[in-house]
């Protein structure tokens, strides 16, 4: 049985925007098993300086990530697209187990197979310490509400 993950390439602005929001929603679930299913079994990642290959390694990576990055809230925004590729910019807020807050900013380049599964993900990310009172992402954990401001609204 062939599995597909719509929207499928080639992407339009509308379908790429939908794909980005679906990815954001998945990551905001902080459910490694669910998120890992969006990637091919042999997906290749570069996340910061870490290289990850395969869905099982992605599952381990995400499990460790959300054990370390607490109260994680993410916003993604479409930056560019072509055929089966999407470029995204993002920011997320989180705190460590000592209560230190951070806003992490970055860019991702994605490549998809015809089935809509992501086969390549290259992420560059920078962490900026912030004070708790400087946080901007205050929705309840989980999916960002539709009426919550996006990255451009914040000027990030």
pLDDT tens per residue, range 49-62: 999 999 999 999 99
Summarize pLDDT for 122-135 with one digit per residue, the tens: 999 999 999 999 99
Query: How far, CA to CA in Å, does 10 sit from each of 36, 72, 84?
Result: 22, 31, 5
CATH architecture of 13-137: Roll (3.10)
Find, among 108, 100, 52, 51, the residue nearest to 79 by Cα. 108
Do the Cβ atoms of 103 and 93 come closer than 8 Å?
yes
**pLDDT, averaged across the chain:** 97
- Residue 2 clears pLDDT 80, i.e. is over it: no
Residue 17: in which H helix or E strand, if any? helix 13-29
Residue 6 CA, chain-centre distance (Å), reads 17
pTM above 0.95, yes or no: yes
Domain ranges of the chain: 13-137
Q: What is the mean pLDDT of residues 60-71?
A: 98
């Amino acid at each position: 049985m062939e599995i597909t993950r719509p929207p499928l390439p080639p992407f339009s602005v509308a379908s790429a925007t939908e794909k980005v929001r679906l990815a954001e929603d998945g990551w905001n679930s902080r459910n490694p098993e669910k998120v890992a299913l969006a990637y091919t079994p042999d997906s290749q990642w570069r996340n910061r300086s870490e290289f990850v290959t395969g869905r099982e390694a992605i599952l381990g990576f995400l499990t460790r990530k959300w054990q370390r990055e607490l109260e994680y809230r993410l916003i993604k925004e479409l930056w560019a697209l072509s055929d089966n590729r999407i470029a995204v910019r993002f920011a997320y807020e989180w705190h460590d187990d000592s209560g230190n807050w951070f806003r992490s900013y970055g860019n991702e380049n994605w490549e998809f197979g015809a089935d809509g599964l992501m086969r390549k993900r290259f992420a560059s990310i920078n962490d900026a310490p912030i004070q708790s009172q400087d946080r901007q992402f205050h929705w309840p954990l989980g999916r960002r509400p539709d009426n919550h401001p996006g990255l451009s609204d914040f000027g990030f």
